[in-house]
Amino acid sequence: MDELSALGFGPFFAQQLQSPGGGEVVPARIAAEHRGAYEVWAATGSGRAQLAGRLRLGLEEAGLPGVGDWVVVDHAPGPDRTAIIERVLERRTVFTRGAAGREARAQVVAANVDLVFVVCGLDADFNVRRIERYLARIGASGAQPAVILNKADVCADPWPRVDEVERHVAGVPVHVVSALRSEGMEEVRAAIGAGMTVALVGSSGAGKSTLVNALLGQERMRTGKVRTSDGRGCHVTTHRQFVLLPGGGLLLDTPGMRELRLLDEAGIETVFRGISELAGHCRFRDCSHDSEPGCAVKAAVQSGELAADRFEHYRKLELEAQANELRHDEHRRRQAERVWGQLSDEVAQLRKWKGGKP
C-alpha cells in the first residue's frame, strides 16, 4: 500500500484531482484543525497549512474543511513553510453535529470516515438512547457504525446491558472491552483495515482516548480522570486529531460532546429500520403514529411485534429532530427578515435623499 492509500486516499478522490492548468497538484489530508490552523498529511510528509484567502471568504462555516477532508495544497507540506489549501475535495462521508449555541447549525466532526465507533462506558455513562442518537448521526454520515461498550472491568455483569443494546440496535456490531486493561481489543483492532479511517465518538469520559492508546499500544493521547460522582470525565482532548495505527488504519479521537443534537430526521430510519418499514403500511403517509386510524406502528406495539420502549425511543428522537428542524427554519426566516429590514431602510434613505419623490 502506498503512502496516500495508507492515509485513506482512493479513486473517489483521485478523479477529482485533474488540474486545469496541468500544474503540480499535491493532495493532502487534514489531520488536525485548531482555530483555523491546519495540520495536513501528504505522501511526502506533514506540515502546517492554512486556507487560501478566497476559500476562507467563500465558504460558510459548514463548508469549511474539517479533520479528515482531502484538500489540494500549493506545495508539499514540510516543516519550514506553511502550505496553502487551494481546494477542498468532495467528501465521501461526513459526520456532523449541531453546533453549540442557539441556532441549529451543522458542524463537521469528521470527514471521509469509513467506520465510526460509538464508545459508551458500562459505568454511569451507559445510556441506550444516547447510543441510538449517535447511530442516527452515523447513519446520516454514510459511514459504517459499530458500538464499543467500554469499562467492562467495572461492571459486575455486562451481558444484560450488551443484550439491551443489541436488542435496540439490531445489526450493529457491539464490542465489549476494557480499554484500560487492554481486554477485548483484538476484535476492535480486527475491524480496522489498512487505509481505513475510523472515528471514535461518545461522551467525554467514555474512554475514547484510552482506547486510542490501547490500539496504539502506548500512551499517546492524554486521558482524563473521571469524577466518581457521576462517571463523567474531565475534558482533555481539546481538538480533533488523527493518529496512524501501527499495522495500518487511521484513528480519529474526538473531544467529548456534551450534547449531540439531531438537526433533522436524517439517519433515524437507519437505527429504527423495522419501524420505518412498518410506517410504510400506515393508512396516512404523514402518520405521526399517535392517534390516527389505521396506524400499522401502533398496531405492532399492541400485538407485541414491536417493543413499546423501542417505539418510545423512536418517537422521542423523531420529535426532537422535527423540533430542531423547525428551529433551524425559524432562524433562517429571521435572518431573511433582517436582510429585508436593512433593504427597506436603505430604500427609505434613498427616497429621502431624492427629496421624497418615489
The verdict on 206 binding ligand GDP (CB under 6 A) reads: yes
- Give 162 or 211: the residue with its C-beta nearer to Mg ion: 211
Give least dist CB 227 to Mg ion, A: 15
Listed ranges 27-35, 78-86, 177-185, 337-345: which one lies at the site for ligand GDP (CB under 6 A): 177-185
- Give 105 or 289: the residue with its C-beta nearer to Zn ion: 289
Q: In the 3-class helix/strand/coil scheme, how is the chain assigned residue by residue?
A: CCHHHHCCCCHHHHCCCCCCCCCCCEEEEEEEEECCEEEEEECCEEEEEEECHHHHHHCCHHHCCCCCCEEEECCCCCCCCCEEEEEECCCCCEEEEECCCCCCCEEEEEECCCEEEEEEECCCCCCHHHHHHHHHHHHHHCCEEEEEEECHHHCCCCHHHHHHHHHHCCCCCEEECECCCCECHHHHHHCCCCCCEEEEECCCCCCHHHHHHHHHCCCCCCCCCECCCCCCECCCCCCCEEEECCCCCEEEECCCCCCCCCCCCCCHHHHCHHHHHHHCCCCCCCCCCCCCCCCHHHHHHHHCCCCHHHHHHHHHHHHHHHHHHHHHHHHHHHHHHHHHHHHHHHHHHHHHHCCCCC
The verdict on 180 binding ligand GDP (CB under 6 A) reads: yes
Picked from ligand GDP, Mg ion, Zn ion, none, the partner binding residue 297 (CB below 5 to 8 A depending on kind) is Zn ion
Picked from Mg ion, ligand GDP, Zn ion, none, the partner binding residue 64 (CB below 5 to 8 A depending on kind) is none
Q: Which of 96, 107, 112, 237 is close enough to bind Mg ion by CB under 5 A?
A: 237
Q: Which of 8, 65, 139, 256 is close enough to bind ligand GDP by CB under 6 A?
A: 256
The verdict on 158 binding ligand GDP (CB under 6 A) reads: no
Listed ranges 45-53, 70-78, 238-246, 278-286: which one lies at the site for Zn ion (CB under 5 A): 278-286
Give least dist CB 222 to ligand GDP, A: 7
Residues 6+ apart with CB under 8 A from 72: 17, 25, 26, 27, 28, 85, 86, 87, 89
Helix pair angle (159-168, 308-353), 10° resolution: 60
Q: Which of 295, 300, 306, 321 is close enough to bind Zn ion by CB under 5 A?
A: 295
- Give 104 or 282: the residue with its C-beta nearer to Zn ion: 282
The verdict on 254 binding ligand GDP (CB under 6 A) reads: no
- Residue 126 to residue 100: CA distance in whole angstroms: 23
Give least dist CB 179 to ligand GDP, A: 4
Listed ranges 103-111, 225-233, 242-250, 309-317: which one lies at the site for ligand GDP (CB under 6 A): 225-233
The verdict on 177 binding Zn ion (CB under 5 A) reads: no
Listed ranges 183-191, 232-240, 303-311, 346-354: which one lies at the site for Mg ion (CB under 5 A): 232-240
Amino acid at 203: S
Picked from Zn ion, Mg ion, ligand GDP, none, the partner binding residue 295 (CB below 5 to 8 A depending on kind) is Zn ion
The verdict on 209 binding Mg ion (CB under 5 A) reads: yes
Q: Which of 151, 175, 240, 289 is close enough to bind ligand GDP by CB under 6 A?
A: 151
Q: Which of 112, 150, 197, 241 is close enough to bind ligand GDP by CB under 6 A?
A: 150
For residue 131 the three cell numbers come to: 447510543
The verdict on 243 binding ligand GDP (CB under 6 A) reads: no
The verdict on 112 binding ligand GDP (CB under 6 A) reads: no
For residue 9 the three cell numbers come to: 486516499
For Zn ion, the binding residues (CB under 5 A) are 282, 287, 289, 295, 297
Binding site for Mg ion (CB under 5 A): 208-209, 237
Give the interface with ligand GDP as residue ranges (CB under 6 A): 150-151, 153-154, 178-180, 202, 204-210, 223-226, 233, 236-237, 256
